[in-house]
Structure 1
């Protein structure tokens, strides 16, 4: 799987470089948004686990549009701290998780009309999660590199500013903390 992801990224980079030689310089963009994700905790031997549903967090991203269709994008999302209460053998406990996700992806955009376009992203993500628990021996750290994918839509307010809405998947599911499925709304500025 990692070889496939690497091959996809290398292929996208090579196509982007070849395309860039035949056209004008890439158009750069930056953006920011608010992401929402649900947290989940799987605590061994727990008789009950409760956590607060969706949490909001910040996202920043930047990219280079090679042409009207293709771009390369990188981004960072803070998974925010989440908390869960649980009971193991009649003893209550509390766990907190924190983390982040970062990605590099190729992006393909298709215009729906002169203001609206849809896009898909495919690349690789690096995620890191850390859990601290009031129960001895349950503290954990997980770091992972895995596939990243996203689907979204953007609405162009003018040539420089667009509003975005997207669904993103940061790799595979972890035993604790933020689920890998994020919903993001934000804005993008083209230079």
Structure 2
């Protein structure tokens, strides 16, 4: 956990330095704007393989390098929700890399044979990193890795890989 946190914090230091360096040309406007998106998350389950789950998210970009975002993933028998700060580093006019750090709330329902369902909830750290490709000035495709809190013993695991379509307003 400490190594993962160190890598995440290092990424945010690099993003902060890039933000201080000034604007980079991008095909989207630099003016503040809202966005929303939907995607498919690949969620691993203890003893049950992986399943595709829907994800909804939305946020507000203060600049093309800093945003705040909230979203949720349906774990089929539970959910994961988050709110996070999202620094972005533009790599070219259309491609950028980003990270997210915030707080996640997770709930999982564990169904055991011949026993009542067990519901577990927790609140913990949320972190993510990913790539964004701008298809048009108002549409982008994102691919990211997300982590919802601590390691889980049963039910949906904490790691999610997501592919999403994002729309700017």
Structure 1 position 25, deviation (Å): 6.8
The 3-state SS of whatever aligns with 2:111 is strand
Structure 1 residue 174 displacement after superposition:
1.7
Match of 1:74?
Answer: 70
Query: Secondary structure at 1:179's aligned position in 2?
Result: strand
Q: Superposed, which structure 2 residues align to 1:5-44 within 5 Å?
A: 26-40=32-46
Q: Specify the alignment match of 2:90 in structure 1.
A: 111
Question: How far apart are 1:37 and its partner, in Å?
Answer: 1.5
**Quick one: distance in 2 between partners of 1:153 and 1:25?**
21
Q: Where do 5+ consecutive residues of structure 2 fail to align?
A: 1-29
Cα RMSD, aligned residues only: 1.4
Deviations 1:21-78 (A, max 9, x none): xxx97300000000002101xxxxxxxxxx4311000000000001121100000100
Which residue of 2 is the match for residue 3 of structure 1?
none
Aligned residues: 140
Distance 1:129 1:158 in 2: 37
Runs of 4 or more, structure 1, over 3 Å off, are none
Structure 1 segment 128-143 matched on structure 2, within 5 A: 128-136=107-115, 139-143=117-121
Pairwise mapping of residues 1-191 of structure 1 onto structure 2 (< 5 A)? 26-40=32-46, 51-80=47-76, 98-136=77-115, 139-191=117-169
Corresponding residue SS for 2:36: strand
Per-residue displacement from partner, 1:122-178 (whole Å, max 9, x unpaired)? 000000011222233x63211111000000000001110000000000001222111
Q: Please give the TM-score of this superposition, normalised by the length of structure 2.
A: 0.79
| Structure 1, gaps ≥5 residues long | 1-23, 41-50, 81-97
Query: What's the TM-score, normalizing by structure 1?
Result: 0.70
Which of the pair has more CA radius of gyration? 1
